[in-house]
Amino acid sequence: MEVFIQQCINALTLGGLYALIALGYTMVYGVIQLINFAHGEFFAAGGYIGVLLLGVMTAMGLMESAPWMCLGVSLLLTMLYCAFLAMGVERIAYKPLRKQTRLAALISALGMSIFLSNGMMLARGPLDQPYPLEYSSGGFEFGLITINNLQIVIWVLTAVLLVALNLLVFRSRIGMAMRAVAQDKVMSALVAINTNRIIALTFAIGAGLAAAAGIMVGLYYGSVRYDMGFVPGIKAFAAAVLGGIGNITGAMIGGLIIGAVEVFGAAYISGEYKDVFAFIILIAVLYFKPTGIMGENIDDTRV
Amino acid sequence: MKKMKRSVGVVAVLAVALMSGAATAETLKIGMMGPLTGPYAADGNDIANGVRVAIEVINEAGGIEGFDTIELITQDTACDPKQAVAAANNLINDEVVGVVGAYCSSSTIPASETLAEEDILMLTPASTNEMVTDRGLPYMFRVCGRDDDQAPAAVRFMKEALGAKTVFIVDDKTTYSQGLADGVAASSKEMGLEVLAHEHVNQGDKDFSAILTKAKAAAPDVLYMSLQNHSSGSLMAIQANRMGLDAAILSQDAMFHPNFINVAKEAAEGVYVTFGYTDESTEAYKQFADKFSAQYGDIGAYAIYAYDAATVLLNGIKQAGSTDPAKIKEAIMAMDFQGASKQIKFNEKGDSGSSYIAFKIENGEYRPYWHPETGYYQ
């Protein structure tokens, strides 16, 4: 029983991280029907910028006195950086292709993904970049069960970001504009919505969430590497499809389910087929219910 | 028209002069293959740099008679068997005399088959799987140790030095990591160490919480961690430490890399690693280490074996006075010298012997801890 609860805790942590990444896929798909395969690279870039900023703050001696504030500042700056990075990528790689076939943009996305990950390798080398481990040192123990401080941080941060995103999309004017652009770009432009700006903003928000996940992964696992975006990116994509691509609530649920399937699959069936479980789900969903759990096109919740 | 004829004549004379110049300026080409990109890029680049240092040392000692320059051609295998065969074919087209590589046993084995068709020598600095030299290829040599020596050494260490009764084995399913883990499981049975479980994870996984939760529940004396790469190893060590796993952690040669400690930090403390013993007080080691660290920084696990492999190849060519593989092989088989890594002498299979001891990580350094013959180090 204790082992089961521990595995639930593991699953919730992993699932939350997948959910944060999956949201970026789903939002971009909702607005311009593009699977942004470079999205995993925003996640990796977040991890890299995070380790750089924390390194600078350590060098300045701020880590000693206010470690959690350093983390908060790094998190904000990293999210901001990746938001701008995503807007740049959108401008260079996707916007010129918006009137072309969807395949052209998809190939451009794959190219951008390879470009960004190799760019990170050239800039920072092929070795893992170590993260400070101080944040993950404390925690709680109940018998065999351990909950790490950082796991709690991940849960809280994930929850806060998810709520904030929901408020933004469903309760604000910008969110309304996003939903409008998702439904009909021409019509939105006619009612004076700046569609280009809304699309750029969608990329920025998605990348910001992925960047937050990137820092959390770096802190939780202790290191980041230039190619870290690929596998989580694909799994988050599976999560987005599972939830119903284009659907925000679906992406959150999908992320949690993929995390749970992986952890329980590894725990109770076999560790070596961990990745297989996630992708079996992807194939099964595409085969039996391509619109996903929440449905692709429930007009109001689609962004 | 006359003027043009003359200029043609000048060009022709120049061309002949250049060609004859090329005929006297001989270039010796040797190849290196390993994972220069992808998850194992760090190890692959260590190997390439080790070879570069060996070439530098030979050049400083006067080079090789009959050749003006030694050219190194590097090929990326990305630790992928298919790409390794393509890399071998590229090196064949470049007409290299010998190849140092590859890193992953799963690359070395198919690549060596391709190179063998053209009688090109191959010296692996890092592939420890038994099959590398057990297939009877005439021109395959190995400078590092063998897994069927490493596995019993590891089990004896667990039993004799750690006094362990139970072990929990994890591998990540590569030819190397699973081969070694299977060897440890088999040796454990023979020597009466109980294997509580033998679990597998995937190459490149980041999250080991599910497997480690299982390990914690099984409460073994030792967690035997057989992973392809120090990058996954450091993540597993961190997570095991955080989860409060009581077991001692024993790992293998792939964890012998400075970045394992850089990433895992405190979690690396107390981790045991089996690796070939290198006497750092020899002249050969110092010569290598000074040159290497001045140019490339930290010395990775296999840089030193790559250096020795390239030295063996280049000295073989030098002593044979020929690029004929049979003659080079004869020269290599006659060698018995103190390399930077160990005393090097090849047996008929092409192996140069293993010297596995257990290291313990203490204060951020690998310290020799236990020798199978002489027991604990002081």
User: What part of A 62-121 touches B (C-beta under 8 Å)?
Assistant: 118, 121
Q: What angle do CA B114, B119, B121 make, to 5 degrees?
A: 90
Measured between beta carbons, which residues in chain B are less than 8 angstroms from residue A275? 202
Partner-chain contact A227 B265, CB within 8 Å: no
Residue A71's contacts (CB-CB under 8 Å, 6 or more residues apart) are: A54, A135, A215, A219
pLDDT band (50, 70, 90) for residue B3: low
pLDDT at B2: 54
pLDDT at A292: 85
Q: Convert the pLDDT of each residue in A80-121 to its tens digit.
A: 999 999 999 999 999 999 888 889 999 999 999 999 998 998
- Closest in B204, B243, B264 to A222, CB measured: B264
Q: Which domains does chain B have, with CATH numbers?
A: 27-145+280-354 (3.40.50.2300), 148-278+357-376 (3.40.50.2300)
ipTM entry: 0.79
Q: Is the peptide bond before B102 cis (omega within 30 degrees of 0)?
A: yes
pLDDT, tens digit, 9 for 90 and up, residues B145-164: 999 899 999 999 999 999 99
pLDDT(B1) > 70: no
Q: CB A222 to CB B234 under 8 A?
A: yes
Are B178 and B270 within 8 A, CB to CB? no
What are the CA-CA distances from residue A44 to residues A87, A224, B8, B17 (Å)? 16, 8, 60, 56
Put simply, whether B135 touches A (Cβ < 8 Å) is no
Q: What is the pLDDT of residue B21?
A: 46
DSSP characters over A179-230: HHHHH-HHHHHHTT--HHHHHHHHHHHHHHHHHHHHHHHHHHHSEE-TTTTH
Ordered by start, the domain boundaries in chain A are: 2-288
Shortest CA distance from B202: residue in chain A? A272
Residue B367 pLDDT > 60, yes or no? Answer: yes
Closest Cα in chain B to A264: B210
* Mean pLDDT value across residues B103-118: 94
Enumerate residues 244 to 303 of chain B having a beta carbon within 8 A of any beta carbon in chain A. Answer: 244, 259, 262-267
For residues A149-181, one letter each, b for 16 or more C-beta atoms within 10 angstroms of the residue's C-beta and e for the rest, the string is ebbebbeebbeebbeebeeebeeeeebebbbbb
* CATH code of domain A2-288: 1.10.3470
- CA dist A87 and A193 (Å) reads 18
B364 touches chain A (CB under 8 A): no
Give residue A79's pLDDT band: very low, low, confident or very high (50, 70, 90): very high
* Contacts for B16 with CB less than 8 Å, ≥ 6 apart: none
Ordered DSSP codes for chain A: -HHHHHHHHHHHHHHHHHHHHHHHHHHHHHHH----TTHHHHHHHHHHHHHHHHHHHHHTTHHHH-HHHHHHHHHHHHHHHHHHHHHHHIIIIIGGGTTS-HHHHHHHHHHHHHHHHHHHHHHH-SSPEEPP-GGGS-EEEETTEEEEHHHHHHHHHHHHHHHHHHHHHHHSHHHHHHHHHHH-HHHHHHTT--HHHHHHHHHHHHHHHHHHHHHHHHHHHSEE-TTTTHHHHHHHHHHHHHH-TTBHHHHHHHHHHHHHHHHHIIIII-GGGHHHHHHHHHHHHHHH-TT-SS-S--TTTB-
| Inter-chain touch B211–A7, beta carbons under 8 Å | no
Whether residue B10 has pLDDT greater than 70: no
- Residues of chain B found within 8 Å of residue A262, distances taken between Cβ atoms: 207, 210
Confidence of residue B23 (pLDDT cuts 50, 70, 90): very low
How far is Cα B141 from Cα B53, in angstroms, rounded to an integer?
20
B45 touches chain A (CB under 8 A): yes
Q: pLDDT exceeding 70 applies to what percent of chain B?
A: 93
Of chain A, the percentage scoring pLDDT greater than 70 comes to 97
Contact B213 A128 (CB under 8 A): no
- For residue B234, list chain A residues with Cβ-Cβ distance below 8 A: 128, 222-223
Over range B168-181, report the average pLDDT: 92
Contacts of B366 (CB under 8 A, 6+ apart): B256, B261, B273, B275, B359, B360
Instruction: Quote the Cα angle for A90-A95-A100, to 5°.
Output: 135
| Predicted pLDDT of residue B273 | 95
pLDDT level of residue A125 (50, 70, 90 thresholds): confident
Percent of chain B past pLDDT 90, that is, above it, reads 69
Sequential DSSP letters for B292-323: HHHHH-S--TTHHHHHHHHHHHHHHHHHHTS-
Of A66-75, A212-221, A286-295, B253-262, where does mean pLDDT reach its minimum?
A286-295
A272 touches chain B (CB under 8 A): yes
Q: Which pLDDT score is estimated for A128?
A: 86
Using DSSP bridges, classify how beta strands B375-376 and B365-371 pair: parallel, antiparallel or unpaired: antiparallel
pLDDT in tens, B192-240: 999 999 999 988 788 898 899 899 999 999 999 999 888 899 999 999 9
Q: What is the mean predicted confidence (pLDDT) over A118-143?
A: 84
CB-CB under 8 Å, B264 with A139: no
The helix/strand/coil state of B69 is: strand
- Whole-angstrom Cα distance, residue A37 to residue B316? 50
